[in-house]
Structure formats: C-alpha cells, structure tokens
Amino acid sequence: MTYKGILDRYGHLLDLPEHTKKITLLEGNTPLIPMPRLTRDLGAEAIYIKYEGLNPTGSFKDRGMTAAVSEAIGRGAETVICASTGNTAASAAAYAGRAGLRAVVLIPEGKVAAGKLAGAIAYGAQVIQIEGSFDDALTMVVEITKTTPLALVNSINPYRIEGQKSGAFEICDTLGDAPDWHCLPVGNAGNITAYWAGYKQYAKIKGINLPKILGVQAAGSAPLVVGHPVENPETVATAIRIGKPARGEQALMAAEESGGRIIAQSDESILEAQRILASEGVWVEPASAAGLAGLKAEIEAGKFDPKGQKIAIVCTGHGMKDPGIIADSMPTPELIPAEMGALRELLGV
Ligand code: AN7
C-alpha cells in the first residue's frame, strides 16, 4: 500500500476537528535503526535510533505540523505564525507553502543553525529575527494570536501534539511493543508530552506495555532540572536553548508517571554523543544527541542498569541542519598538492 503520510495512516487515532483538510509532505514512517555497536558498548539488550532527521524538512516537527496546518487551513486561516529555535520555523514554512498559506516565523537573533534558517527562507516564510531569546519570541506570538486571525503553530497548539503522537505509534508498530526505555531531548517539552500521550493511548487500545521516559535537557538550559525558568539559556544545542518550556508541567508529569526522569547534560557530553552516533552512521544535530548523552551518563554513573533493556532513542533532527558545529568542533580536512607523491606520503602507502 502506498504511504500517504501520518494523517492518512494514524488520523483515526488523532483528535482533530471535522474541518481538518489534509496537507501532507508524506512525513513520518521514519526508520527505527538498530545500533549493534552502541548496544554492545553500553551493555543493553537492544538500542534503536528513531531517526527523525529523515522527515521532509529534516526534523520531527513535520509530524505535528501536518496536523496543525491541516487544521488551520480547514478553519480558513490565511497565515500561520510561530516562534522557533529553527526546526519549527522550517517545518511551518514548508507546510504553509504546501497549503498556499503565508508563514511568519520569529527566531532569536543569531542563534539559529544555518540549515534551519536556510530552510525557512527557501520555503518562503517571512523570517523575523528578534533581539531576544526563543522564550521572548514565544511570548510575542502567543500575544499576537490572541487578538488577530493569525494561526499559532507552536506546540502549544494541541494539534501539534496530536500529530507528534504518531512517533510513539510507529515505534510500537515496529517493535510489536513499547521499548523498556524511551530517551529524547527536551526543549519546549512538546515532544515528550506527545510521546507519552501516544504510548498511553496505544497501551489502552493495543494492550502494549508502557516505557519509562528519560528526558534530557542541556545543562545551560535546564529549567525542568533546576526547578525554575532559566533567564539566559545557553547551549551548543541551539534547538533546545529554551528557558521556559511551554509544556514543562506535562513533561515532568510524563517522566514521573512513567517511572523515568528528566536530567541535564553538558555541551561536551552532547557533542560526544553526536560523534558516537555519527561513527555508527547516524549523523544528527547536537540537540538530537542529548537522549544518548543522558542515557550513557546514567549508565556510567550506575543509575541505570541497561542489562536486558530495549531502548529507543529519538534523534529529532538531521546533522545537516547544523553544519557549523562540525566546522567549529572538528579538525578541518588536510590540504595537499594535487600530486600522487603527496597523497601516498599522507596515507603511508
Ligand atoms: C532537533 O524548532 O523548539 O521539547 O522552535 O529542534 O518538543 O520542544 C525545537 C525543538 C529537540 C525539543 N530536538 O523538542 C523549535 C523548537 C530538536 C528540536 C527539540 C527541538 P520539544
């Protein structure tokens, strides 16, 4: 059967209004990649990467955006607006373009990775930089959508969460059950909320088990770990540079209800996890490596016994979103004359 996107495949399980008019770029259906070397090195039963970088705009945001834009156009909206650390902006721009709607995106000045900004511009959004953080931008778009017909497509929008539940459905459909643990990065906390809702829904209708959730924030932007909003969040993982998560309470509840937890990881730990994943063939953007960074740290600290555990790690965005980080943190390629002698000498052959 031809794949037609997540509203076609899982729409009957999503709480979307009657007026929803399907806009899709065939998002979802991403691979759950087994990681044999990582599994062996960490001593687990099986570790899988849910590789969300393979969505149409290169991140998991497309799952929620197909739902949010489909609802917005169905009710007659003409413009969608969002605040974004980058991936939501690119996704909103693409789906709005697809639907023939105008997209406006507010981003924190200078803090959005090149691949995301380029995407948002390429898809035709009106991109506005603000002299402030993501949190400031979110406050502004929430405010403006209260009094204007602009449609808000941040994950405060409940249809974003409905669409993103499909990630949990896919993992369960692939494994035939939920994993024992589910690890993922946490920024504005929409995705952790959506996964937990999706798992709970599947547990009810399919009788599967529930996973424990390990949410991971960046140490410089970890409001859910320190227990209060962070005024000036900082991290190399710019996607999750968020100091006041809109769904923070729900994230904490998801972790607690599941028997899991939310922890923080340093930028060094996140970049190391990015290198480990890439070395086994899965290149993700820094924020996307936070799930593995957290899992690895918990195992090494003796707080997590991986023995016999099936673990799914969501890698939320593609490595190509943030090429700058590789240029900054890895050696530049060697330069030699275009001569065979120089090549032989360098390779030692
Ligand atoms: C790669 O694009 O908030 O906890 O504005 O891009 O659901 O916010 C991005 C978030 C993880 C965190 N990984 O997800 C935005 C934005 C990547 C991301 C997250 C984001 P949430």
**Probe ligand 1: pick from 191, 192, 241, 252, max atoms within 8 Å of CB?**
191
pLDDT tens digits, residue range 279-298?
A: 999 999 999 999 999 999 99
With 0-12 / 13-18 / 19 or more C-beta atoms within 10 angstroms meaning exposed / middle / buried, residue 25 is middle
Q: SS3 of 260, please?
A: coil
Residue 177 has pLDDT above 90, yes or no: yes
Q: Give me the pLDDT at residue 347, please.
A: 98
β-strand pairing of 261-265 with 151-152: unpaired
Read off the pLDDT of each residue in 207-236 and give the average, rounded to a whole number: 97
The number of C-alpha atoms within 13 Å of 142 and in the hemisphere containing its C-beta is: 11
Q: Give me the pLDDT at residue 330, please.
A: 84
Residue 157 contacts residue 88 (beta carbons within 8 Å): no
Q: Give me the pLDDT at residue 1, please.
A: 79
pTM of the model: 0.97
Residue appearing with tokens 């969501």: 314
Read off the pLDDT of each residue in 120-145 and give the average, rounded to a whole number: 98
Centre a 10 Å sphere on the Cβ of residue 132 and count the other Cβ atoms it contains: 14
**Probe ligand 1: pick from 49, 52, 85, max atoms within 8 Å of CB?**
85
Rounded CA-CA distance 137/158 in Å is 19
pLDDT tens digits, residue range 68-117?
A: 999 999 999 999 999 999 999 999 999 999 999 999 999 999 999 999 99
Length of the chain: 349
Q: pLDDT-based confidence at 138, cuts 50/70/90?
A: very high
Q: Give me the pLDDT at residue 178, please.
A: 98
Q: Which residues line ligand 1 (CB under 6 A)?
A: 59, 84-88, 155, 185-192, 239-240, 285, 287-288, 316-317
Read off the pLDDT of each residue in 187-213 and give the average, rounded to a whole number: 98
pLDDT tens digits, residue range 12-62?
A: 999 999 999 999 999 999 999 999 999 999 999 999 999 999 999 999 999
With 0-12 / 13-18 / 19 or more C-beta atoms within 10 angstroms meaning exposed / middle / buried, residue 338 is exposed
Residue 329 has pLDDT above 90, yes or no: no
